[in-house]
Copies of this chain bind each other. A is one copy, B any other.
Amino acid sequence: MTHLTIKDIAKYSGTSVSTVSRVLNNHPDVSEKARAQVMQTIEQYGFVPNNSARNLVIRESDTIAVVVRGIANPFFTRIIKTIERAIYSAGYSMSLHQIGSCEDELMTAAMVEREKRLRGIIFLGGRFNYAPADVAMLRVPFVCCTYANTFGALERDSFSSVAIDDKREAYRAVRLLLERGHRRIAALIETEGGNSISQLRYEGYRAALEDAGVPFEAALIECAGSFEMEDAYRAATRLQERTEFTALFAISDAMAMAAMKSLADEGKRVPEDCSVIAIDGLEMTNYCVPTLTTLEQPAEEMALECVRILEGLLQGDGKNSHVFMETRLREGTSVLSIK
């Protein structure tokens, strides 16, 4: 059976790839004229203008895989949504693969690559320490989304990444607490010393204290052992039993929300008795009481940038690149100035 690509249809109908994509995906924002042109082309070449045509025109070799590690991460939901839309608009199809946080995203990607003859891969979340041998089995371009493989040993021009600078953003969050007069600032992290986002954000915390001349105190650090709210809640409780502090930096919004609950259960008011700040900018922490002050990751922009880089690589006019995006301070009511 003849396979028309989305590009063929664009050419024959005198429209663009993204217009054809929108028509085939039933997007509302297509002019009636363009829709008619696309439909006419499809009919003319013998394809019915419905989902089976759509099935035929998107060939398997137009597939970009999105491999999501850490299915429970609510931050990823927003990113996936935007990535999906951008992939379709660029004329590709998307194959989504969610893996547990202990599984190996590279193995999954290599398997999927063989099965589906992928064009490219976007890793959403992953290990921070790939070595060249690890990625040798991948034969298509890939973009690391939300991490920059900081602890790894890959050649910088052999892959792409779009992320925030975790260390710098943690530094910003803690500096904000320092600027508002806090000196005893606790840190709620996942684990110390790992090759992870937790370590990077922890390093930012330490750098901010150091630059402000505030001595580091080990008693103010507590490891939750995971990013789960349940574990973060218990870690925050241990922290309060052990020492006093006027502010808490949590490495993620979800952990901060659990910590605020722990503070409330211990009879402390946020922010009067303890200020709380985090990084992520989830929707839910905009609706808790008090709302969380947090550095919001630009989810949509990161998603679009990943697809843009991959599209450039696939079309031959782009090259691997590494983009750090900045967070935006979303001021809630969880931080008090005590100056």
- The interface of chain A, by Cβ under 8 A from chain B, is 26, 51-52, 54-55, 60, 71-72, 74, 77-78, 80-81, 84, 96-98, 100, 103, 107-108, 110-111, 114-115, 229, 233, 254, 257-258, 260-261, 264, 283-284, 286-289, 291
Contact = CB atoms under 8 A, between A and B. Distances in A.
Contact of A80 (B81, B98, B110, B260): B98
B287 A261 contact: yes
Nearest to A73: B77
Contacts of A286: 229
A283 B284 CA distance: 11
Nearest to A291: B261
B71 A77 contact: yes
26 contacts: A26-B103, A51-B108, A51-B111, A52-B110, A52-B111, A55-B111, A55-B114, A60-B115, A71-B77, A71-B80, A71-B81, A74-B74, A80-B98, A81-B100, A96-B96, A96-B97, A96-B98, A229-B284, A229-B287, A233-B287, A258-B287, A260-B289, A261-B288, A261-B289, A261-B291, A284-B284
Given A71-B81, A233-B287, 15 more contacts: A26-B103, A51-B107, A51-B110, A52-B114, A54-B111, A55-B114, A60-B115, A71-B77, A74-B74, A80-B98, A96-B96, A96-B98, A229-B284, A257-B288, A260-B287
Give the one of A51, A229, A254, A258 with max B CB within 10 A: A51
A77 B72 contact: yes
Nearest to A60: B115
Contacts of A80: 71, 98
A72 B258 CA distance: 21
A29 to B, nearest CB: 13
Contacts of A107: 51
Give the one of A26, A60, A74, A284 with max B CB within 10 A: A284
A289 B276 CA distance: 15
Nearest to A115: B55
A193 to B, nearest CB: 23
A48 B81 CA distance: 37
Contacts of A258: 287
Contacts of A78: 72
A264 B287 CA distance: 10
A261 B260 CA distance: 15
Contacts of A108: 51
Given A54-B111, A111-B54, A288-B257, A229 B264 contact: no
A71 B79 CA distance: 11
Contacts of A264: 289
Q: Which 6 residue pairs are nearest across A and B when measured between Cβ atoms? A: A261-B287, A51-B107, A264-B289, A55-B111, A284-B284, A288-B288
